[in-house]
A and B are shown apart, each in its own frame.
Chain A
Amino acid sequence: MLATSLVGLTIQGLVGYRGVAFMLLVTVSILAMFLDIVPVLVSSFLSALIWDFFFIPPRFTLTVGTAEDRLLLLMYFVIAMINAALTNKIRKIEKAVKERDEKEKSVKFYNTLLNSLSHELRTPITTIIGSTDNLQSRSGKLSEEDKVELINEISVASIRLNQQVENLLNMSRLESGVFHIKKDWCDINELIYKTLQRLEPNLLRYRLAIEIPEQLPLFKLDFGLMEQVIYNLLINVTQHTPEDTLITIQADCIRDKLVLTIADNGTGFPQNEIDKVFEKFYRLKGSPTGGTGLGLSIVKGFVEAHNGRVMLENLPVRGSKFTIEIPAEKTYVNKVKNE
């Protein structure tokens, strides 16, 4: 407002004081696009005063010389007010539309979430309830073989249920914001092999190649979270590749980053879905049951909690590769000859 007034003062000779009125009006309109209604009304009122005081002859008084100018001032005042009010109204409508859109989007998101959840949780629960019902009420009519089968089903279902709950807990930890990471020195070799040990039964029928340089430094990371990251990535590989696939795990230090890659020579991902795999509850078309579509989004969340990033690409020949880059403090204390 002040700037416009100053410009107005300098070019008044060129455009006349009535031209200045339009410049001031434009300024009020621009302000209305960014400010709330009260400051805009105040500035329209102020601009009217400024125009009157500095520009309308006799200048530097609040008195207005001619009847024509009095009418102009009045009209200026009314236009400025209407201008401010209308702009404000438009903004309000825009905001309401945006809010409604967002609400619709989140309703849709929660519907997907609930659908996926109720399916993934109810399937194992149904199995458990059904199997125990059978064992309880029809025990006499069941063969030993059937009983073993049912007990097996209960076992598989409860492990699956536990996996889902763990994923959900991890996700809610990430979303709650109270989540904090506890970084400590990690031996990457130890981290990778510890995770592999947990996954031994899942990886029995896969071929593994592990490439970790002897001289890799220690990195400051959250061991538990990184274990979960590698665990989820490997589980994902086993879910989307056939048995006997070769899984290559590599770790390296590139500048100040830890770079971890997990590659397979399986079938790769459909190119049009590759960007979506890290989205919450996203599941590839035709993917096997048992997943929640949470595993990879937890990977992304935990890696980002380390200020790192995770990428997925299809390999030129066959298969795909996950790459994790994490900027982390490192130490080569492991190279120092000890006492």
Chain B
Amino acid sequence: MNKPSILVIDDESQIRKLLAITLQSNNFNVSEAATGKEGITSVSTHPPDLILLDLGLPDENGHHILRHLREWFTNPIMIISVQSNEEDIVKALDNGANDYLTKPFRTGELLARIRSALRNVGREPNNPVVKFQDITIDFANRIVKKDGSAIKLTATEYALLSLLAHNDGKVLTHRYLLNQVWGVAHQNESQYLRVFVAQLRKKIESDPNRPSHIITESGIGYRFIGNPSTF
């Protein structure tokens, strides 16, 4: 099997080196770019399977690069950002980034996120029944089962769960979820999202207070994790 290729766009040589060593030793092919310009050239000549993009590049605003790349590049782009910059992260996710990591990150988490993002590439989107550990969703018949027995969900609960589950492993921003489930007119009414997430957790999580499938990303959104043991 071909090794997946990853392009690292970061101006700090130490970070590039660290990522290269970590990723190569975990069976990835790694290429590096120190500037946004270099990165874009590299992507257009050898499109990688995944991009790790640092938002704080010296030559060009990371958000511009992201938007530019998203004009033609469809593989996962993972943002690396400095700590506690929720607004920046939300903006990047709304601009097409698949996931984010904040510096400093643990390598275990980095690898889990990369694997999860790569799993979703080219996954059969029309698969009608998907099993997520203890939860099975039959998208064709709109049936959700937990540990084999059917769960009764309202229409909105189902819409929310199916949207989350279709994006297994990916962070979805509050705004995106509200837009998709409730419509653009309700994109600021996050109270509904809070309530429905709580209800959904009560129905599908073994311990709703310590959820393993619907994870809160503070100030950003929610992430569905289909198979918690591999994450």
Contacts and interface: CB of A to CB of B under 8 A. Distances in A.
Interface of A: 158, 162, 166, 169-170, 182, 184-187, 189-190, 193-194, 197, 218, 222-224, 227, 331, 333-334, 338-339
Interface string B177-221: 000000000000011101111110000000001100000101100
Contact of A339 (B155, B198, B209, B210): B155
Contacts of B190: 184-185
A189 B216 CA distance: 12
Given A182-B87, A339-B156, 12 more contacts: A169-B84, A187-B195, A189-B198, A190-B197, A190-B198, A190-B216, A193-B210, A194-B218, A223-B219, A333-B192, A334-B195, A334-B198
A169 B83 contact: yes
- Chain B interface category by residue count: 20 to 34
Contacts of A331: 191
B154 interface: yes
B152 to A, nearest CB: 13
A182 B220 CA distance: 11
Contact of A193 (B154, B197, B209): B209
5 contacts: A182-B219, A184-B174, A184-B219, A224-B86, A338-B199
A16 B195 CA distance: 82
A190 B83 contact: no
B125 interface: no
B216 A218 contact: no
B104 interface: yes
**Which one of A162, A186, A194 has the greatest number of beta carbons of chain B within 10 Å?**
A194
A197 B207 CA distance: 13
Nearest to A220: B191
Nearest to A187: B194
Contacts of A227: 218
B194 A339 contact: no
